[in-house]
Chains A and B, each alone.
Chain A
């Protein structure tokens, strides 16, 4: 049978606050175990949570970013379960009254089409610590540095239909939250973690099938593979006339498979109830408007502006607006050189190519936007050819200075002196009697091809520095 996949995603997003959501401990990644855990994080007796206002502001910004209803009165609840990396024996989360309500989120697919994905809700909660099961000789180690790190859990509607859409959704989400500056979005460090709810139903039907929840999927690639794998598994079961069991499964990246979590890993009754140590969070319109005022231009708006103001293709605008840093870089280059299309081309091809090769992010680029703009200026004013420009870019990448400095130091300036060029052209014509003969005997159509030979020779002789336009003009004049 033909099956339709129905997917809903729960994303746990680490918010980029300096301190934890309910304590003053730092939230830096990679600190020595238990050096960022204070008495509150350790759930010492008598310790109480105090809400980090920054986490609330970040959550509201997210809500505004997706046009969602903001919970004017949101309530923290206790989610109770025992685990050694959960010091209080409960997680402070939001259950009945989340801070962000319904919203909609537009994603763009590879064919350029867009789809709206519904957001059910987003709520604030605290992260747990980490259990370490290796190197403790039969015991487990507990690192509570992460305990109490603020998370925004973003729950989507079951609007996603395949792995491509799921990845597009996550990428768009990643782009949004980094634009908003509410998360570093670093998946490798666990700043964005994803649970996948997935079920199948016969194509063309509306009723939802039984779903499995796949936990712990922490990269775009794994999301794609986990969905593919889970689709195959459920389709096999259903094709054989079986039924899918509602359960929580774990994606094992090493073996590329999902498997059921042990029942012990799944608590079934969290006994949610309102957290009596915290008051409800009451937000007024002034607070929301203040945050709305400070919202940056968001990816969707930026893409649109790039196509309209700069005449870029939807694809180019999409690539450049993907991250705020890249978009800012592109605009800085454009501002310097004055030509958005050439700037877009250089940023996407040369710059991103080099960055990817060196595994660097835009923020770490050794070539600043100003330098790249300076290079493009020299192409535009015919000081250098596009080919030479690539050499200059290489040199800038190696830290040899600005485009002008490199052109000067290496003597790469395009030769546009007509006397100098004429000498070169004459030399080539003199040493290519056979080709000249061939050219003169050829018809107009063939001549166009044959002239390339002479241009090439002149460029070779000039070490690529001859102004190709002028060389062409001179040849046209002399080859008669």
Chain B
């Protein structure tokens, strides 16, 4: 039961092959049995999950069903959940239970889904290895000595280890796609503005975007159907009409023009990973697609650009964590200054502090023009690169990451090498485009992800390509050995 996709679970629930309570119970049991080795969940509220499942079963019984009725999902601990701790992976919010649900949480609730729990993540979504969490590192189900990627590492590991059929994630510079690639699952980062950011704790407001993580493109489409849409309470959310994302899954790829940015296949890309990607591209070709050589000339500038803009926004987004109204507060502050400095010193981890410092510096008087303003100018050039490519092709394809999962601790002392991990994913956020990572093979037993990048609001096309690819490959059906035990 635990290996079923969302689509299969929906069918099974409708056909009364099993109940939501049974599925939920099975998954909760697996979390209890197996998650000690992954640490993918921060909070599991079994009672609440089972109550929701029983209520879903009643609705199923009465035939009052919504699209995801009774489907258990896990939520990244960055989405506020009413009455349930929402830590954002930080000591700062270890004691924080919001009095409201994020819009995304409400949407899943309205669609009838069951909340299994809240998944582990890099602190405030800052990281590419899920090692910066206050709750400890998450381990990759394919090799527990390696990282799952980040920052949505808990969601990726939970889905890969079949502790949840699907999960939500957020992607600011690759935080859905990179862990999806390293854990061998399918993840979609929607167009900026497609999914509401209300109640999603902000890292970098102009880059953050929530999206689905699941075991197939079809499942991502089903989840995106629930998540997408305009939210009047998020001024940056788009009013563009929401299509049914499953509608075009079956379309043929005949005539599809796939651009291959040559900068994504150059030095820095692990050779074996590159081969997996080439094989995947051949598969697309076999399905009728044409491969076109294209260029994203400003690729080299994406890492420095991103690491100005994201920390700049983060440095002020995180100012609200001051110990005054909620969250961590230091003991016995002597005065206001002491309250601020000790609260933030104790509440934030090193990576968060590093980014607050970088961002504060970039926005400072005398440096603003040289850093932040310049970065915004380069950001426009990066966007233009994509616009020009999309004049010629329908989607872009390439690797999600330069290589497979690296070892725990391997890059923690070298932030720059860690930042380079996101070289192929950052530009998408800077340009606000939708992109996916799809399982495309293995290197040394570790999953490799194929990245697909689309035009603004062209998620349907990405899902169509990914789904067609998955109809002819079985990489997404592989399960890690570590998840073989446990209840089923």
User: A residues engaging B (CB < 8 A)?
Assistant: 39, 42-51, 78, 80, 82, 84, 87-90, 140, 142, 269, 271-273, 276-279
Are A45 and B201 in touch, CB under 8 angstroms? yes
CA distance A60 to B232 in the complex (A): 23
What are 26 of the A-B contact pairs (CB < 8 Å)?
Answer: A39-B99, A39-B100, A43-B320, A43-B325, A44-B99, A44-B100, A44-B325, A44-B326, A45-B88, A45-B93, A46-B80, A46-B198, A46-B200, A48-B235, A50-B232, A78-B316, A82-B319, A84-B322, A84-B336, A269-B365, A271-B365, A272-B363, A273-B316, A273-B368, A277-B205, A279-B236
CA distance A44 to B102 in the complex (A): 12
Q: Is B233 an interface residue (CB 8 A)?
A: yes
Smallest CB gap from B79: residue in A: A46
Are B322 and A273 in touch, CB under 8 angstroms? no
Q: Is B340 an interface residue (CB 8 A)?
A: yes
CA distance A278 to B205 in the complex (A): 10
Q: Is B234 an interface residue (CB 8 A)?
A: yes
CA distance A89 to B327 in the complex (A): 15
Are A46 and B236 in touch, CB under 8 angstroms? no
Chain B 359-373, CB-CB to A under 8 Å as 1, else 0, gives 010011100100010
Top 4 closest A-B pairs, CB basis? A89-B319, A276-B205, A271-B363, A276-B206
Are A46 and B98 in touch, CB under 8 angstroms? yes
Are A48 and B325 in touch, CB under 8 angstroms? no
CA distance A43 to B360 in the complex (A): 20
CA distance A276 to B236 in the complex (A): 8
Given contacts A82-B322, A82-B340, contact A50 B235 (CB under 8 A): yes
Q: Which of B79, B100, B204, B234 contacts A48 (CB 8 A)?
A: B234
Q: Is B146 an interface residue (CB 8 A)?
A: no
Are B198 and A48 in touch, CB under 8 angstroms? yes
Smallest CB gap from A270: residue in B: B365
Q: Is B228 an interface residue (CB 8 A)?
A: no
Count of B interface residues, CB-CB < 8 Å: 42
CA distance A142 to B197 in the complex (A): 28
Given contacts A46-B80, A88-B320, contact A277 B235 (CB under 8 A): yes
CA distance A48 to B320 in the complex (A): 13
User: B residues engaging A (CB < 8 A)?
Assistant: 79-80, 86, 88, 93, 96, 98-100, 102, 197-202, 204-206, 232-236, 312-313, 315-316, 319-320, 322, 324-326, 336, 340, 360, 363-365, 368, 372
* Contact residues in B for A87 (Cβ distance below 8 Å): 320, 324-325
Are B202 and A46 in touch, CB under 8 angstroms? yes
* Contact residues in B for A39 (Cβ distance below 8 Å): 99-100
* Contact residues in B for A272 (Cβ distance below 8 Å): 363, 368
Are A48 and B233 in touch, CB under 8 angstroms? yes
Smallest CB gap from A90: residue in B: B316
Sample of 15 more A-B contacts, CB < 8 Å, known A45-B88, A276-B313: A43-B325, A44-B99, A45-B93, A45-B98, A45-B201, A45-B320, A46-B198, A46-B201, A46-B202, A51-B235, A88-B319, A89-B320, A272-B363, A273-B316, A279-B235
Are B197 and A48 in touch, CB under 8 angstroms? yes
* Contact residues in B for A44 (Cβ distance below 8 Å): 98-100, 325-326
Smallest CB gap from B324: residue in A: A84
* Contact residues in B for A43 (Cβ distance below 8 Å): 320, 325
Given contacts A45-B98, A47-B198, contact A80 B236 (CB under 8 A): no
B376 to chain A, nearest CB (A): 8
CA distance A51 to B363 in the complex (A): 24
A45 to chain B, nearest CB (A): 4
Q: Which of B93, B100, B236, B324 has the most CB of A within 10 A?
A: B324
Are B80 and A45 in touch, CB under 8 angstroms? yes
* Contact residues in B for A269 (Cβ distance below 8 Å): 364-365
A280 to chain B, nearest CB (A): 11
CA distance A51 to B233 in the complex (A): 10
* Contact residues in A for B322 (Cβ distance below 8 Å): 82, 84, 89
B233 to chain A, nearest CB (A): 6
* Contact residues in B for A89 (Cβ distance below 8 Å): 316, 319-320, 322
CA distance A340 to B321 in the complex (A): 63
CA distance A82 to B98 in the complex (A): 23
CA distance A47 to B202 in the complex (A): 9
Are A142 and B324 in touch, CB under 8 angstroms? yes
Smallest CB gap from B207: residue in A: A276
Q: Which of A272, A276, A278 has the most CB of B within 10 A?
A: A276
* Contact residues in A for B324 (Cβ distance below 8 Å): 84, 87, 142
Q: Which of B86, B197, B198, B235 contacts A278 (CB 8 A)?
A: B235
Are A271 and B364 in touch, CB under 8 angstroms? yes
CA distance A47 to B232 in the complex (A): 13
* Contact residues in A for B204 (Cβ distance below 8 Å): 276
Smallest CB gap from B340: residue in A: A82
A262 to chain B, nearest CB (A): 12
CA distance A44 to B325 in the complex (A): 8
A66 to chain B, nearest CB (A): 28
Are B102 and A46 in touch, CB under 8 angstroms? yes
A268 to chain B, nearest CB (A): 8
Smallest CB gap from A22: residue in B: B235
CA distance A82 to B200 in the complex (A): 23
Given contacts A42-B325, A87-B320, contact A273 B236 (CB under 8 A): no
